[in-house]
Structure 1
Amino acid sequence: MAESIVLLGLISKRAELSGLIDRYRKQINQLELEIACLDTTIELFSPGYDTQSIKPKRYRRKNTFFKVGESGKEIFDVLRKAGKPLNTSEIAKIIMNEKGFDQVFEKPLKATVLTTLRNYHKKGMVEVIGRDRNTSCIWALVP
């Protein structure tokens, strides 16, 4: 009996995944048709335009940890309260504790914190003052 339950579960999962593949193939076919129509329209407005040179737009996953602008505010608050430079992991762990995030989110949250810090570094709002033993950047607020 246990084998048949397991087997039924596996068959059900396979059927589900096959259905998803079929659905996404149909969506891809529809999108390719729409691109072909757009290419034809572009050709009408600009004969000879190389539509193959148009780079695809990158889609990023939505950040589920913070609302828009909230990550920077949280990071600045952590650095201000600490009163000393911190590395990326320390900042992420403090935010995890303050927001009550589970430990499983440490790696993606750390990546989000690092991306936010890099963006603010480009804007001159935070600075890298060194690296720790793990070669993680040590960040400080720009005075």
Structure 2
Amino acid sequence: MDHDHVIHGLRRKRAEIAGRLEVAHAEISRLAVDLASIDGTIRMFSPHADLDEISPRKPPAPGGAMPGEISRIVMAALRDALGALSTRDVTLAVMAARGMPITDARLFEAMQKRVMACLRNLRIRGVVEKRKEQGKVMAWGLAA
């Protein structure tokens, strides 16, 4: 048969998708058990709670962060630093804390933009300050 290579490729792709589906079903089952456990705990403390009024919250996209997560990591990095940190150093600290590969240039650039926005917002609120500027390199520290 002259379509053997096509059939072989399609069979491999089907097997891959079926495997991913099995993993997804297992994850759904685990999440359903976790949700039932949380619901039971809520009912222990508040028997008349309306659990249907609790809206589902989407998890952050891959590489995304929960609200305040980046700020907390930035603040921890600045608190733990012996001196001022450059934006690059703060970005590296954030990526390391989140388990992100620091060798991915595109991811580093995206994270650096998020860190710069975070630092700008923290500066506006008076929490951090620019310590020095040398060319395009800014150093940051906690406000005194």
1:25 to partner: Cα distance: 1.3
Percent identity of equivalent pairs: 23
Contact 2:39/2:51 (CA < 8 Å) preserved in 1?
A: yes
1:1-143 aligned at under 5 Å gives the runs: 3-52=3-52, 53=54, 55-56=56-57, 58-59=59-60, 61=62, 73=85, 75=87, 105-106=105-106, 108-124=107-123, 125=128, 141=138
Q: Which amino acid aligns with 2:4?
A: S
Contact 1:126/1:140 (CA < 8 Å) preserved in 2?
A: no
Equivalent residue number for residue 86 of structure 1: none
Q: Which amino acid aligns with 2:87?
A: I
Matches of 1:110 and 1:35, distance apart in 2? 37
Q: Which amino acid aligns with 2:118?
A: N
Matches of 1:11 and 1:32, distance apart in 2? 31
Runs of 4+ in 1 over 6 A off after TM superposition: none
Aligned partner of residue 48 in structure 2, secondary structure:
coil
What TM-score do you get using the length of structure 2 for normalisation? 0.50
Contact 2:88/2:112 (CA < 8 Å) preserved in 1?
A: no
CA RMSD of aligned residues (A): 3.9
Aligned partner of residue 120 in structure 1, secondary structure:
helix
Contact 1:43/1:49 (CA < 8 Å) preserved in 2?
A: yes
Structure 1 residue runs of 5 or longer lacking an equivalent are 78-98, 128-138
Matches of 1:73 and 1:18, distance apart in 2? 48
Count of residues in correspondence between the two structures:
102
Structure 2 residue runs of 5 or longer lacking an equivalent are 65-72, 78-83, 90-101, 131-135
Equivalent residue number for residue 97 of structure 2: none
Contact 1:75/1:113 (CA < 8 Å) preserved in 2?
A: yes
1:15 to partner: Cα distance: 1.1
Q: Cα 1:126–1:5, aligned 2, differ >3 Å: closer, same or farther?
A: farther
Q: Which amino acid aligns with 2:114?
A: T
1:58 to partner: Cα distance: 2.9
